[in-house]
Structure 1
Amino acid sequence: MNWKAKSSTILHLPTSWQELQQGEYYQQLLEQYFADWFPQILGYHILNIGGLSGEINCHLPLRHQIVLSPKMNDNLAKLYQTHPDHTLLQAHITELPFVDHSIDACLLVNTLNFSSDPHQVLREVNRVLTDDGYLFLSLFNPLSILGFKRRLNRKSSQEYAFRTYMTWRVVDWLELLHFDILAQQNLSLTKSFLGAPLTVIVAKKRVYPLTLEPQKVRFKKQNILRTAEAFRNCL
């Protein structure tokens, strides 16, 4: 487990769940959990950061879904071709090519686990999200068997180094960015004494209005209000 948020190690985002051990299993868990939350999105633009986020089916045909990834592969290209409501972009996840307050919901599906600078990723997400925008985030649980691993891959794919974070750390980061935590849960289809492999967080961006305190009006003290001066003025 890394206690420093920013790392000098260069990490790479997987472009598909098929590249990871138990990848399809994790994808199934996340799609089942987020399915009840997606209809609550108010707005048109949904941003999926990373190939893992892009493969999560939102089942929202009337929404414009943007899949952003640092690199492309055939799976993402097919996803773009078969879904006309998807836009595929290649860009850095720490420098999102969107104007402020232009995205209504964002998916960070295990993106932070493969990021060298998770703080900057969350700052960028906070910048582009609209007020009351939703953030759907998932992490590998360090209190599970994944806490003993440093790489996730299948034999036929490249190795992907990843990082793990305690859930309370990520919740603290989100609260500092003025997110309200709506839900938090560990996900697993089977019971294990080592804990569930995934943790999910649903958060909502809040912008609290500035409360102005009325300034006290101070009157200049008049001499006539003093007893001695009042008698002198009467003479």
Structure 2
Amino acid sequence: MSGQIIGLHDWFETPPGRYLLAWEQAQFDQAVADIFGYHALQLGLSEVQGLRANRMPHRWLALSDPAQAGAPALWTDFSALPFPANSLDLVVLPHTLELSPDPHATLREVERVLVPEGRVVICGLNPASLWGMRQRRAHLYRGLGFGELFLPEAGDFIGYRRMRDWLRLLSFEVESGRFGVYRPAVRSEAWLERCRWFDAAGERWWPIFGAVYFLVAVKRVRGLRLLSADWRRAASRASAPVPIAGKMHRGRDNGGQLEEGSGS
């Protein structure tokens, strides 16, 4: 691959691409398995089956580029989704924002279509990682007339803290976040296998320097109060008749027996 610019979908067929996809697929399967509702949507990157472990009755894959692989349910502009506001329970974004020409608009549109307490699941490449540093160095060398990129040229890195700031501005609350893929930026399957120990070591000793980050965030609406499953029983208890104290009194007759009389 020397001197060759490889496309995103071809890169996912390489050893480091398969390694990345395997980690991300496991994270998506774990994250979405217990998110419930009726409507779920994946935006982009058909190589990742972000909704396969979810049990919602309506799940769709949407793509924006007809050149992409896969059989989507719809083609759409991610910054203008064909869904009404507050209509989706879950949206997954596998590298969608970093590949989007306008990631801010895409994230605002995701916030619009999610129901209150709906969830968005995001993964993205981490610029503060061995892979990110090698990519920046390769860009520098290419500017000097030599060298090749390790990652595809498509898309721009969005840092983990920057992503959290964007979510916070849109009233999302991050429920969980983690990093993964700690092996060095090598191309061969053999070297990736020799460096398996980097995964355990990186997770323990340098967790924020994984090549990819994974976030789950929930849409919060100020002033919204969710009713519990007992709200009907609580309402019926509140409307039940209550005896009025003092309407009846009890006294003793001359024989020492209790008697009832009017309180008037």
Question: What's the TM-score once normalised by structure 1's chain length?
Answer: 0.68
**Is residue 2:216 matched to residue 1:202?**
yes
Give the deviation of 1:19 after TM superposition.
5.8
CA contact (8 A) 1:53 1:108 kept: no
Structure 2 distance, partners of 1:125, 1:61, is: 20
1:187-227 superposed Cα distances (whole Å, 9 cap, x missing partner)? 1264267931100111011112179xxxxxxxxxxxxxxxx
For residue 124 of structure 1, the aligned residue among 105, 109, 115 is 109
- Which residue pairs with 1:49 in the alignment? 43
- Aligned CA distance change for structure 1 residues 74 and 107 (closer, same or farther; 3 Å): closer
The answer to which structure, 1 or 2, has the higher relative contact order (CA under 8 A, 6+ apart) is: 1
Name the SS of the counterpart of 2:50 in structure 1: coil
Offset of residue 52 of structure 1: 4.3
| Runs of 4+, deviation exceeding 4 Å | 13-17
Which runs of structure 2 are paired with 1:126-165 in the superposition (5 Å)?
Answer: 126-148=111-133, 149=135, 160-165=153-158
CA RMSD of aligned residues (A): 3.1
Equivalent in 174, 177, 190 of residue 181 of structure 1: 174
Q: 1:74 to 1:135 in 2, by over 3 A?
A: closer
Contact conserved, 2:37 with 2:56, CA < 8 A, in 1?
A: no
Residue by residue, what CA displacement relative to the aligned partner does 1:46-67 show, whole Å, maximum 9, x if unpaired? Answer: 1100024753353235532111
SS of the counterpart of 2:112? helix
Counterpart code for 2:173: D
Q: Contact conserved, 2:177 with 2:216, CA < 8 A, in 1?
A: yes
Shift in Å, 1:38: 1.2
CA contact (8 A) 1:187 1:198 kept: yes
Tell whether the 8 Å contact from 2:45 to 2:95 is kept in structure 1 after alignment. Answer: no
State the alpha-carbon separation in 2 of the partners of residues 92 and 15 from structure 1: 20
Contact 1:16–1:51 (CA under 8 A) maintained in structure 2: no
- Classify 1:61/1:178 alpha carbon distance in 2 versus 1 (closer, same or farther; 3 Å): closer
- Range moving further from structure 2, 87-96 or 121-130: 87-96
**Number of matched residues?**
186
Matched, 1:39 2:53: no
Answer yes or no: is the 8 Å Cα contact 2:64–2:75 preserved in 1.
yes
Q: Structure 2: which amino acid aligns with 1:105?
A: L
Unaligned runs of 5+ residues in structure 2 are 1-6, 139-147, 184-197, 226-264
Question: Structure 1 residues 45 and 14, CA, compared in 2 at 3 Å: closer, same or farther?
Answer: farther
Higher alpha-carbon Rg: 2
Check the 8 A contact 1:16/1:75 in 2, yes or no.
no
- The 1:202–1:130 alpha-carbon spacing in structure 2 relative to 1, beyond 3 Å, is same
Q: Given the superposition, is the C-alpha separation of residues 146 and 61 from structure 1 closer, same or farther in structure 2, using an over 3 Å criterion?
A: same
Is the CA contact 2:129–2:210 (under 8 Å) kept in the aligned structure 1? Answer: yes
Q: Given the superposition, is the C-alpha separation of residues 71 and 116 from structure 1 closer, same or farther in structure 2, using an over 3 Å criterion?
A: closer
Report the Cα offset of residue 105 of structure 1.
Answer: 0.3
Q: CA deviation at 1:14?
A: 4.9
SS at match of 1:181: strand
TM-score normalised per structure 2:
0.61
Q: Could you tell me whether the CA contact under 8 Å between 2:40 and 2:56 is conserved in 1?
A: no
Once the two structures are superposed, residues 137-173 of structure 1 have per-residue CA deviations (whole angstroms, 9 ceiling, x without a partner) of 011010113323269xxx9xxx542211221111011
Identical amino acids, percent of aligned pairs:
29
1:89 paired residue among 67, 74, 78: 74
